Amino acid sequence: MEATIVKPKNKIKKLVKRIIANWQVYVLVAPLMILLFLFSYRPMRGMVMAFQNFSPFLGIENSPWVGFANFEILLFGHGSTMLWRAVRNTVVIGFYQLIFGFPAPIIIAVMFHELKNGKLKNLAQSILLLPNFLSEIIISGLVIALLQPQSGAINQFLVNIGIVNEGIFFLTRSEWFRGIFVFVGIWASAGFSSLIFFSSLLSIPTSLYEAAELDGASRIQRILHISIPGIAPTIAVMFIMAVGGILNVGFERVLLLQQPVTYETSDVIATYVFRLGLEQNNFSLGATAGLMNSVVALILVIIANTVSKRLSSRSLW
User: What is the band of 1 on the pLDDT scale with cuts at 50, 70, 90?
Assistant: very low
Instruction: Please indicate whether residue 183 or residue 304 has the higher confidence score (pLDDT).
Output: 183
Number of structural domains the chain divides into: 1
pLDDT for 152-166, tens place per residue?
Answer: 889 888 888 888 888
Is 117 part of any domain?
A: yes
pLDDT of residue 315: 72
Taking only the tens place, the pLDDT of each residue in 196-206 is: 999 999 999 99
Q: Mean pLDDT for the chain?
A: 86
**Is residue 51 assigned to a domain?**
no
28 assigned to some structural domain: no
Bigger pLDDT: 312 or 189? 189
Examine residue 19 and state whether it is found in any structural domain, yes or no.
no
pLDDT at residue 211, as a whole number: 92
Q: What is the mean predicted confidence (pLDDT) over 214-235?
A: 91
Range of the domain at 93: 72-312
Give the global pTM: 0.80
What is the tens place of the pLDDT at every residue in 84-114? Answer: 888 899 999 999 999 999 999 999 999 999 8
What confidence score (pLDDT) does residue 7 get? 58
CATH number of the domain enclosing 202 = 1.10.3720.10
Residue 260 domain-assigned?
yes
Write the DSSP assignment of the chain as a string of letters.
-PPPPPPHHHHHHHHHHHHHHTHHHHHHHHHHHHHHIIIIIGGGGGGGGGGB---TTTHHHHSPB-TTHHHHHHHHSTTHHHHHHHHHHHHHHHHHIIIIITHHHHHHHHHHHH---HHHHHHHHHHHHGGGGS-HHHHHHHHHHHT-TTT-HHHHHHHHTTS-SS---GGG-HHHHHHHHHHHHHHHHHHHHHHHHHHHHHTS-HHHHHHHHHTT--HHHHIIIIIHHHTHHHHHHHHHHHHHTTT---HHHHHHH--GGGHHHH--HHHHHHIIIIIS--HHHHHHHHHHHHHHHHHHHHHHHHHHHHHHS----
Kindly state whether residue 83 falls inside one of the protein's structural domains.
yes
Does the structure show a pLDDT above 60 at 286? yes
Q: Is residue 160 in some structural domain?
A: yes
Lowest model confidence (mean pLDDT) among 51-55, 194-198, 242-246: 242-246
pLDDT at 58 over 90: no
Q: Looking at residue 108, what is its pLDDT?
A: 93
106 or 307, greater pLDDT:
106
Q: Looking at residue 11, what is its pLDDT?
A: 80
